[in-house]
Structure formats: C-alpha cells, structure tokens
Amino acid sequence: MQGSVDGRIKQNSWGFKDYHKYFEETAEKIPADAWLVGQVTMQEFSSKQPYVLESGKEDFPKKDFVADQPAKTFAAVIDPAGKCFWDTNRVSTEHVIEVLTENIPIGYLEHLRSKNVSYVFGGKEELNWERVLNKLHDLFNIQILRIDGGGHVNGSFLKANLIDEFSLVLAPVADGAIGSPTVFEVEEGYGARKATQFKIKSVE
Ligand SMILES: NC(=O)c1ccc[n+]([C@@H]2O[C@H](COP(=O)([O-])OP(=O)(O)OC[C@H]3O[C@@H](n4cnc5c(N)ncnc54)[C@H](OP(=O)(O)O)[C@@H]3O)[C@@H](O)[C@H]2O)c1
C-alpha cells in the first residue's frame, strides 16, 4: 500500500503526477501469482461503459467458473454484488477473477461468461475469507496473493488474521481528509478486537 503520513490512501488528491509509479515499483518486487482489490479500487481498471444486465435467460448454475484462457497470473476483485463490468477478461497481463456472493443476479453471471471472466463464490450472503483463499489456491494455483487494497479489503483480511506480511510506501504528504479511506478500515471502535502488531523486517 501507499499511505500518507496520516495513513490515508486516496492518492489522486495528493498532487503527485506519477503516484502510481511509487506503488508499482515497490509492488512488482513482491513475487506474487495474483493481486486482489476491492470493487471500489477495481472500478479504475474495469469497464467505463454502461452495461445493462439481461434478466437471466439461461439457467446458469451458481457454481464457480474457471475460464479457459492462457494467463498464469491473476487480478482478483472482491465484488459481492457484481458492480464491476468488463470489456475484456484481463487487466494488463492478468486474468480477471471475480469473487462473488450467491446474492448475485444470473444476468451478471451471463455478463461475466460472455467476456470469459472467471468467478468464484465466497459465500451465500457474506464472504468466508478462508473459503475464498482456498478456492483461489485450488482452482487457479495461486500460492502467493498480494492484497492491494483499498482499506476495506485490507481491513477484512486483517480482521480475519490472514495477512502474513505488510509493505507500505510512505508518501511525504499529510492528507487530513476526515472519512477518507485509510490503509486498514476494519470497524468502528475496538470492541473485543486488539490492534495487530507487526515485526519490522526492513525499512528503506
Ligand atoms: N494508496 C494505495 O496504495 C491504494 C491502493 C488501493 C486503493 N486505493 C484507493 O482506495 C480507495 C478505495 O478503498 P475502499 O476501502 O473505499 O474500497 P475497496 O477496499 O477497494 O472496496 C470496498 C468494497 O469491496 C467490497 N468489500 C470489501 N470488504 C468486504 C467484505 N468484508 N465483505 C464483502 N464485501 C467487501 C465491498 O463492495 P460492495 O460495496 O459492493 O459490497 C466494499 O464496498 C480508492 O480511492 C483507491 O484509489 C489506494
């Protein structure tokens, strides 16, 4: 992740022309079979065209779909309600995998199939993170997954205790926008949850 000194992550208002560069140069040093983001972040990479869903003419089963395609690296998106639309089944060189819940209109599955985009079901109404990771491993042979945000997806993995390693590019900027997403958006207050401690591996 790339964060401001106050932990915020919406880089487009920070005044850097090439903010993607600092994130990407660091991210590409991390060997990974896939990257994964939330649907808000993926809107930047998915279709900008308006799509109208069919009412679901064909009776598609709500079963995982692994597209027949050649890519060996993947771009996965947490998109429980199917808000990302696709003109192609790739982001750059990576094949797109949609992570859905079963609360999804059949017409959306038809859209994904028509673009040969893979999809997996991570739960009926809520996502079960271990199930999601097991499916990404078993169906796509993803061994190392790089979670690239935003804050809500990071927060979900943090809460589920499923982060092994965390890398932060610290931008020399104070953002200060109250309510703007931060590196980890878990929940209001602390409740029974404690902060997660990391051990420093290296600093540059
Ligand atoms: N600085 C950086 O390194 C960096 C990296 C990535 C993104 N960003 C920025 O971060 C911002 C977006 O972050 P964000 O936190 O608002 O959004 P996000 O994490 O990209 O996406 C959040 C969405 O993902 C789905 N989701 C996340 N956790 C879920 C859960 N536990 N169960 C079910 N669905 C879940 C929900 O979709 P539904 O609403 O459909 O339920 C939720 O609204 C953007 O401005 C982006 O540019 C910055």
The one-digit pLDDT tens for each residue of the chain (204 residues) are 999 999 999 998 899 988 889 999 999 999 999 999 999 999 999 999 999 998 766 677 899 999 999 999 999 999 999 999 999 999 999 999 999 999 999 999 999 999 999 999 999 999 999 999 999 999 999 999 999 999 999 999 999 999 999 999 999 999 999 999 999 999 998 888 889 999 999 999
Please give the angle made by the CA atoms of 129, 135 and 141, to the nearest 5 degrees: 125
Domain parsing of the chain, residue ranges: 33-45+66-138
Distance 123 CA to ligand 1 centre (A): 18
User: Does the CB atom of residue 127 touch ligand 1 within 6 A?
Assistant: yes
Q: Of 99, 86, 123, 111, which Cα lies nearest the Cα of 34?
A: 99
Q: What is the CATH number of domain 33-45+66-138?
A: 3.40.430.10
Handedness of CA 90, 114, 52, 140 (dihedral sign): negative
Which residue has a Cα nearest atom 32 of ligand 1? 127
Beta bridge partners of 37: 77
Gap from CA of 165 to ligand 1 centroid (Å): 19
